[in-house]
Structure 1
Amino acid sequence: MLTYEECLAMCDVTQDEVSAIAEHEHVDPIIALAIGQYLCCHEGEHMIKKIIIDDINHAEKIGNIEHAEVLRKVLSHFIATHPEGATSDAA
């Protein structure tokens, strides 16, 4: 059986990106990891970008500025490492 950490090491998403997906989709981290990997392998990077942006907007709406700032850094890293998602109009 593979551990969560082993699965994460084999995927194209980071722990922070998995956390953003889990937060947005209200799922456990292992499910979020599978969603993120699936999207990265099937030209869905723009969807992950949109998920992170939605999380930023939600954090700002509820006044959690610190979390919004963390998510902005996650978004910046995601765009830097997945430039295919940067070209969409999700922002």
Structure 2
Amino acid sequence: MISLTDCIALCGLDEAEVRALAEHEHLPEIAAAALGAYLLHLPRGAEKVQQMIEEDIRDALDRGDRAHARDLFMALRHFLKEHGPAPRTRGPQAL
């Protein structure tokens, strides 16, 4: 049987990044790992993951949860180190 740890190891994201996706999309972590793997295979998927984590950081700051925002920021830093920053453009972006 494959475990959550196995799925995270295979998806291309680390545990904190998977947790951020799970939070953003209101999914179980196992489903977030699958979503992350899927997104990373799309042409602009890494950009979408970056946006999701950034939105989670803003939400945490808006509700005054600085500790959680700090944890999410560390996940974002790791993600950017591994997958590179998305190019900045104006206006909404769609996949």
- Matched residues, number: 88
The two structures have a TM-score, normalised by structure 1, of: 0.90
2:46/2:86 contact within 8 Å kept: no
The two structures have a TM-score, normalised by structure 2, of: 0.87
Instruction: Percent identity, please.
Output: 35
Quote how far apart the aligned CAs of 1:41 are.
Answer: 1.4
* Structure 1: 5+ residue stretches without partners: none
Q: Deviations over 1:22-56 (max 9, x none)?
A: 00000100010001010111230000000000000
Letter matched to residue 9 of structure 2: A
1:39-50 maps to which residues of 2 (within 5 A)? Answer: 39-43=39-43, 44-50=45-51
Letter matched to residue 68 of structure 1: A
1:32 counterpart residue number: 32
Taking only aligned residues, the RMSD between alpha carbons, in angstroms, comes to: 1.2
* Structure 2: 5+ residue stretches without partners: 90-95
Runs of 4+ in structure 1 over 3 Å off: none
